[in-house]
Chain A
C-alpha cells in the first residue's frame, strides 16, 4: 500500500523567509503532484513532476522530485502572506488513476 508522508504538518513563518516542505512516499512512483487549497475552497494544481530530477518553479514556489529517495520538496522563497494555504502532495500509482495524498501542510505566513 502506497503511503505518503508530509512534514511539517503545520508551518508558521514570517514574510520574507525561506522554508521547505517535504513529501516522502513508500513505493515506486514517477508521478508526483503538488496542490494548493485555500480554506473552504477546492484544490488548485501547482506542479506535476514526472521524472527523477524534475524541477519546476512558479513565482516563489519551487518543486523537485528525487524518485530514488522517494522524496519531493516544495521550497518557498521569500514568503508572502498570499501563500498562506494548505499544500498537499499526491503520488500516483505507477499505472492507473489512483492518487494518494499526503496529510497536507497548513502554511501561515505572518507579516
Chain B
C-alpha cells in the first residue's frame, strides 16, 4: 500500500478564516512533507517532519503552521491567508533511513482557494 490520503480535496476560505489540511499515511514512513504547487510549476517544499519532529522549514510565513500529532498524521493549520496562497497543497511521505532518504510518495493534494 503506497497511499497517502489528504482531506479536504477542495477548500475555499476567506482571508480571516482558520482552517486545517490533513494528511495520513499507513506505510510506516517516518518522514512527512508539505509542498505548495502553483499551476504549471514544480512543487515547492514548505516543511519536513522527521520522526515527528520538524526538521526543515523553508522560511514559510507563520500564517502556515504545521503539526505532526503522530507518525501517521500531518496537519497544516491555515490562518489569515492571502489570495496568493491559493495553490495545490501536496503532502508526501517517505522512509527516513539514516544516511539518506527514499522515494517520496505524494497524496492527491488539497486545492485551496483564498478569497
Contact = CB atoms under 8 A, between A and B. Distances in A.
Contacts of A42: 90, 106-109
A31 B99 CA distance: 12
B48 interface: yes
A87 B82 CA distance: 29
Contacts of A48: 102-103
B101 A103 contact: no
Interface in B67-115: 90, 92, 94, 96, 99-109, 111
Interface in A77-106: 86, 88, 92, 95-99, 101-104, 106
Interface residues of B, number: 27
A106 B40 CA distance: 9
A88 B111 CA distance: 20
Contacts of A88: 42-43
A11 B6 CA distance: 31
Given A33-B103, A41-B108, A97 B94 contact: yes
Most buried by A among B42, B55, B56, B105: B42
Most buried by B among A42, A45, A106: A42
A45 B96 contact: no
A43 interface: yes
Given A41-B109, A97-B50, A104-B40, 7 more contacts: A35-B106, A41-B108, A43-B106, A86-B40, A97-B33, A98-B45, A98-B48
A43 B90 contact: yes
A106 B42 CA distance: 11
A74 to B, nearest CB: 15
